[in-house]
Structure 1
Amino acid sequence: MLDPAVTLAQAGGLAEHLQRIGVQWLPTADPDAAAALAEHFRFAGSGSPDQAADQAAPPSSASAPPSVQPAAAAPPATPVAGASGAVQPSVGGPAPAFSLEVDSADPAEPYPGPSLASDARAAELAKFSEQVAACTRCEILSKCRTKTVFGEGNVSPRVAFFGEGPGRDEDLSGRPFVGKAGQLLTKMIQACKFAREDVYIMNTVKCRPPNNRNPEPTEIENCREYFQAQLEILRPEYIVCLGLVSAQALLRTKLSVGRLRGKFHQYFDSKVLVTYHPSYLLRNPAAKKAAWDDLQLMLRDAGLM
């Protein structure tokens, strides 16, 4: 049989445990409601209703869960996640506009090999661009494409924007993000006080999928060598993943954009920020504020605001 006093004591212990692990808000017990509940469910051997109510009364302060107040604000931290998606806080920097999930992680692993000078980077990227133009790993994509879309921009960027795949306008021009979504991306870049020429823009897959469908997993894996080589050459300080496809491909995760945004992840030496794809923002304008919050997190971390 359940003992009301024991049950309340166990609840108090649970409340204290939740406080220790960081839960800031807990409901406060209502003594009258607890007494009424104890009377309603009379326990065997509990005696009269008055005795049951006495047993159900809140225990002393030594065992009862206190009324929880918001925890004092801790020094703000800029969270950084490891290659696995776990998060490591680094002290300093202003607090973001939304809550952050912080876990522990190993230190960032450096990019392999030496960092190249700008002219060597440009030469290496040109070499890979030629390989992409001749690539036939994906039978469907290589047959239906007009042009491959390798990427463009500053070869020594602080920020690289990493999208999903080319659309119709990109397939025709051979340049990334030049359609309506690209125009919105340009505005987002300008809102960050950059020009398109200051950043590097690239996609997960280099050929347009038929009817702008999402790339298949095999198509992403066929292009992995190319986008990983791009990032190894570029070594940007920040990688902004635009949408689910690029985020899941780069971080090798199945989590949603909603679960991934609001904190930094790590890809070698680069801090990775996940936000919504401009195409999604065109369909859902209300999400633009959240995307701007994400970009502001990067700008604060970079000391640009």
Structure 2
Amino acid sequence: MAENENILEVRHLKKYFKTARGVLHAVDDVNFTVKRGETLGLVGESGCGKSTIGRLILGLHQATSGEILFDGKDICKMNKSGLHDLRKDMQIIFQDPYSSLNPRMSISEIIGEPLLIHKRVSNRAELDKRVRELMDTVGLASRLENAYPHELDGGRRQRVGIARALSLRPKFIVCDEPVSSLDVSIQAQVLNLLKELQAEYGLTYLFITHDLSVVKYFSDKIAVMYLGQLVETASSEELFRSTLHPYSQALLSAIPEPSVHRKMQRVKLTGELTSPIDPQPGCRFAKRCLYARESCVGTDPVLREFGCDHFCSCFRTNALQDEE
């Protein structure tokens, strides 16, 4: 049987959290697919639910409803044993390379731990050899084998996290803001390393970030998220060429302009932020949108295709398209 082109399919995914004030709609009816070997960039403000999606995909959170199909198998229906077996194919690189590493373990112990848990090595010599290979792959000097996380800088710590994620030779990696806590010069090194590893091992990435300048360089396809919902999806080239949703336009306008002689056209967002706790039907961006109208309230917008596999959920964009 031919292998499915999509390694990941997310269908009507929801994740709600009960709070003292009501039900928090962290992820609300999200749909997307990721093809084998590509990078999907998931972008949006802090608190929009993008990291929650990453954890749902990995089985670290239990979905309220919906389906997450990885290689045709629904992660939401897996038991603990099934999720344990899935770990060899799905891994995560965390945002903070310091808090994600055990401070009481040496670098070699951290990288080798997944190999021991999943019984990928039969003796100490094989473990040591594999750990050295992984350290070499991510650009860590062998002299750091017995070092501890607090002895390394941020860039080297993140390389340890990448080596650990690679140890089981996964097919899919969730990169949860992997460079946001690093210096700009180190960010470029880590991004280049991730690209090289993707080309060498055929990896598929879900790249979660709030930085559109990074996601443009790194992603094949971009999904823009706002308060638990996807508002626009397109290829990286198409999204930057023809941005449709007002929120996406505001995000793009916030990207720093490298030329001091070029005037920056900022889209300044004003208005009250809609509460994600028991939200009313309607566009959740309406209170901050420059183009909001009465029709934006009362009915939820749906993602609609505008050609070139470009989807947007906006009543104004729909109306403009219908007028043409």
Give the TM-score normalised by the residue count of structure 1.
0.24
More helix by share: 1
More strand by share: 2
Give the TM-score normalised by the residue count of structure 2.
0.23
Relative contact order, CA 8 A, sep 6+: which one is greater?
2
Q: Which has the larger radius of gyration?
A: 1
